[in-house]
Amino acid sequence: MTAPALGISTDPGTVPELLAGRRLVVLTGAGLSTDSGIPDYRGPGSRPRNPMTYSEFVSGEPAQRRYWARSHVGWARMRRADPNPGHVALAALGAAGLVERLITQNVDGLHEAAGHRGVIDLHGRIDEVVCLDCRRLSPRDELQARLTASNPGFTEAHSAQVETAPDGDAAVEITDGFRIVPCASCGGTLKPHVVFFGENVPKDRVARCYAAVAALTPDDALLVAGSSLQVMSGLRFVRAAWKAGVPVVIVNRGATRGDDLATVRVDAGCSETLAALAACPL
């Protein structure tokens, strides 16, 4: 199969025109949440980031101290983020039965906060914590309270003008002396319930995403919103849709790794484009 000729548009109205009457599977990325105050990884103007890898995290307490100190400050901000018009628009489309399945690469939980149901959190949820020993899940707010009690004043001392990444990592440079806490059940090592770089997405989660895309026909469409598709965890679903002859529409500021597979890429903001989509009768 040859790739479709790539079209690039800056008109948000292009999206409802292309998607009228089609069932949708939606794949979202960090660019969708920028209007909620959460910066993305690779959008225009984004600074280079070096997220902690899984192997680094499990290497021992120094890496875990660094991660939790920075994340402790970042979570204090991230938990206050609200859904933006893009999240709200997708939730409305889902409630209207026009979105068959929403797959998100984001870990911020803002789709659910906007009222979207049946979301596949491809990379997990930052508002959950897992014990690497007993596998117990617990709320992030519970851990935040324990870390605050063990490190009084740390957030206030380090939060001024510190940038936060999409995974909640804050650019705190000095983390020596930060006290991490163990699992309240078994005393094991706690990790955010998210997929780190170098860690595999659970197979059953990947299978659910593939199944959603496989259920589409050429009369339907895959809509990508706010992802540069630089990592294979999202790009593979775009490739699967393209191979099946399903139209792929990408909304993203800047080029993506999936551009040569797309029917069109709309170079515009997700909030305005998705709001325009939700406002049009489909």
Give me the pLDDT at residue 6, please. 52
Is 30 assigned a ligand-binding role in the annotation? yes
Give me the pLDDT at residue 79, please. 86
The catalytic residue positions are 123
Is 253 assigned a ligand-binding role in the annotation? yes
How high is the mean pLDDT of the chain?
90
Strand partners, 26: 102, 223
Spatial CA neighbour of 128 closest among 144, 151, 111: 144
Say if residue 268's pLDDT is above 90: yes
Condensed to tens digits (0 to 9), the pLDDT of residues 201-253 reads: 999 999 999 999 999 999 999 999 999 999 999 999 999 999 999 999 999 99
Is 252 assigned a ligand-binding role in the annotation? yes
Condensed to tens digits (0 to 9), the pLDDT of residues 1-56 reads: 334 445 889 999 999 999 988 999 999 999 999 999 887 655 555 555 568 899 99
Q: How would CATH label the architecture of 8-279?
A: 3-Layer(aba) Sandwich (3.40)
List the domain boundaries for the chain: 8-279
> Could you report how far apart the first and last alpha carbons of the chain are, in Å?
29
b/e code 173-210 from CB counts within 10 Å (16+ = b)? eebeebebeebeeeebbbbbbbbbeebeeeeebbeebe
Condensed to tens digits (0 to 9), the pLDDT of residues 176-214 reads: 889 999 999 999 999 999 999 999 999 999 999 999 999
Is 152 assigned a ligand-binding role in the annotation? no
Give me the pLDDT at residue 263, please. 94
Is 48 assigned a ligand-binding role in the annotation? yes
Q: What is this structure's pTM?
A: 0.90
